[in-house]
Structure 1
Amino acid sequence: MTDTLHITCPACQAKNRIPAAKLAARPTCGACKAQLFPDAPFELDEAKLNKHLKNDDIPLLVDFWAHWCGPCRMMAPMFAEASKQMLPKVRFAKLDTEQHQTVGSRFQIRGIPLIILFDKGKEVARQPGATDARGIVSWVRQHVKG
C-alpha cells in the first residue's frame, strides 16, 4: 500500500489525499468536512461513479438495485451491516439502476440485486442475487488484498 491514498468524497466529490496510516482515524473531506468513510453506503449516480472509479485507491463495492425490487430491499440492511464491518478497507455505495439506466447497459447488468467490486477503476468481481452480511463480507475478503 502506498503512503498516500486518493479518496473521492461521497458528499461533494472532491478528491482527497489521505495518509494510509490515518484511514482508521475516520478522515474527513478537506473541502466539505464530510466523512470519507460514512457509516452507511452512499448513493451514486453515473457521474459520481465515474469519479470514484477514476480517482479512488480504496476498493469500492457497489450495490446495483431498484426501489421496486423486493430482494434488493431485503438485502439493503445486510449490505449496510457489511459496510460497517469492512471499513476502511472497502467503501460501499448504492446505485439505483431504474434512475440511471445507462449504467445497467454499460456494466451489462441482467438482473438485480447485483454487487460489483471495483479496485482502482476496474471490475474485480461481481455477485448476483441477495446475500446476507456475512456472505458479503466473506465474498469481499476473497477478492480484496490485505
Structure 2
Amino acid sequence: MSDSLHLVCPKCQAVNRVPTARLDQQPNCGQCHQPLFTGHPVELTAATFARHLERNDIPLLVDFWAPWCGPCKTMAPAFVQAASMLEPRFRLAKVNTDAEQTLGAKYSIRSIPTLILFRGGRELARQAGAMTVQDIARWARSH
C-alpha cells in the first residue's frame, strides 16, 4: 500500500488524499468535513458511480439490488453490517437497478442481489444471491 490513498467522499463526492497511516482514524472530507466512512453503504447513481469506481484507491464492493426483490430486502441489513466490518479497507455501495437501469445493463446484472467487487476500476469478482454478513465479509476479503 502506498503512503496515501485517494478516497471519494460519500457526501460531496470530493476526492480526498488520506495518509495510509490515518485510514483507521476516522478521516473527514477536506471539503465538506463529513466522515469519509460512516459504517453504511453509499447509495450510488449513474452520476456518482464512475467517480467512486475510478477514484477510490480501496476496493469498491457494490450491491446491485431492487426495492421489490425479497432476497435483496433480506440481505440489506447484512450488507449494512458488512460495511461497518469492512470499512475503511473497502468502500461498500448500493445501486438500485430499477432507478439506475443503465448501470444494471452495463454490468450485465441478470439476477439480484448481485455483489461485484471492483479494484482500480476493474471487476475482480461477482457473486449472485443473498449472503449473510459473515459470508459477505469473507467473500470480499478473499479477493
With normalisation by structure 2, the TM-score equals 0.98
* 1:25 counterpart SS class: coil
* 1:24 counterpart SS class: coil
Residue 82 of structure 1: aligned partner = 82
What one-letter code is carried by the residue in structure 2 that aligns with 1:48? T
Q: Which runs of 4+ in 1 moved over 2 A?
A: none
Residue 110 of structure 2: aligned partner = 110
1:124 aligns with 2:124: yes
What one-letter code is carried by the residue in structure 2 that aligns with 1:68? W
Q: Deviation string for 1:106-139 (max 9, x for gaps)?
A: 0011010001001111111011000000000110
Residue 33 of structure 2: aligned partner = 33
What's the offset of the Cα at 1:72? 0.3
Residue 18 of structure 1: aligned partner = 18
Alignment gaps of 5+ in structure 2: none
* 1:61 counterpart SS class: strand
Alignment gaps of 5+ in structure 1: none
What one-letter code is carried by the residue in structure 2 that aligns with 1:111? S
What one-letter code is carried by the residue in structure 2 that aligns with 1:20? T
Q: CA RMSD in A?
A: 0.7
What one-letter code is carried by the residue in structure 1 that aligns with 2:22? K
Q: Deviation string for 1:51-78 (max 9, x for gaps)?
A: 0111110111010001010100110000
How far apart are the structure 1 equivalents of 2:76 and 2:35? 21
With normalisation by structure 1, the TM-score equals 0.96
Q: Deviation string for 1:29-54 (max 9, x for gaps)?
A: 00011111111111000121100111
* 2:116 counterpart SS class: strand
Report the identity percentage: 50
